Amino acid sequence: MDLFSEQDDTLRAIPIEDGELYFMRRLPLPLAPVEVLARLLAETDWRAEAITLWGKQMMQPRLTAWHGEARYTYSGMTLEPLPFTPLQLAIKDAVERASGRRFNSVLLNHYRDERDSMGFHSDDEKELGPNPAIASVSFGEARTFILKHKRQPKTVKIDLGDGSLLLMAGALQHNWRHGINKEKVARGPRVNLTFRLIDLP
Ligand SMILES: O=C(O)CCC(=O)C(=O)O
Ligand SMILES: [Fe+2]
């Protein structure tokens, strides 16, 4: 019996206060992660979006795409969705099976190299509901996902490796911010998909 592969595809709770966090090292998928990465890089209509931060327009330090069934508004911009692709639907299926939750939208983030990053934020937009479940699937180069408590000097770091699934749930978005820092050493491309369930009007 191969104990490690059994552990690899089990969604396990990561102990954390004031919220819920679950991690699976390898989400079972019909394609190898290296193939998923190549297809996501090639098939996605990647956009460099501008955001407004402290009244100033700047480019996001990564490329993004928004797919699914709902409009999405964040950082002062509204994204019109493209339909889910067959590959995104296969990943969504695997995520829903592993997590027992349902999703209707996905934000794709492409971190081109070590200079790309995601600023600290909470995914707490009203249309996500009071205690949103957000499922984050990663392909390609591992990057460190950092959670910082909003009111206490607490930090949690998780390596999000190729083919992994991280599920944020419960009160996590109320009490923690999360982000991905730039790195100093060279990093290859990483694609992250965050599946969300958006209230449709
Ligand atoms: O790239 C990641 O792992 C984080 C993505 C994220 O936080 C988001 O899309 O809201
Ligand atoms: Fe996020």
The residue whose C-alpha atom lies closest to atom 8 belonging to ligand 1 is 194
Q: How far is the CA of 137 from the centre of ligand 1 (A)?
A: 9
Best residue among 79, 160, 190, 192 to mutate for probing ligand 1's pocket (most ligand atoms within 8 Å of CB) is 192
Per-residue pLDDT of the chain (201 residues; tens, 9 = 90+): 555 555 788 999 999 999 999 999 999 999 999 999 999 999 999 999 888 878 888 899 999 999 999 988 776 778 889 999 999 999 999 999 999 999 999 999 999 999 999 999 999 999 999 999 999 999 999 999 999 999 999 999 999 999 999 999 999 999 999 999 999 999 999 999 999 999 987
What is the CATH code of the structural domain delimited by 3-196?
2.60.120.590
Q: Which atom of ligand 1 is the closest one to the Cα of 134?
A: 10
For 23, residues 6+ apart whose C-beta sits below 8 A from its C-beta are 11, 12, 14, 158, 164, 165, 166, 167
- Please tell me the residue having the least CA distance from ligand 1 atom 2: 192
Q: Is the pTM of this model over 0.90?
A: yes
Q: Which two tokens stand for residue 54?
A: 């402290």
User: Complex ipTM, two decimals?
Assistant: 0.99
d(CA 100, CA 20): 15
Distance 145 CA to ligand 2 centre (A): 10
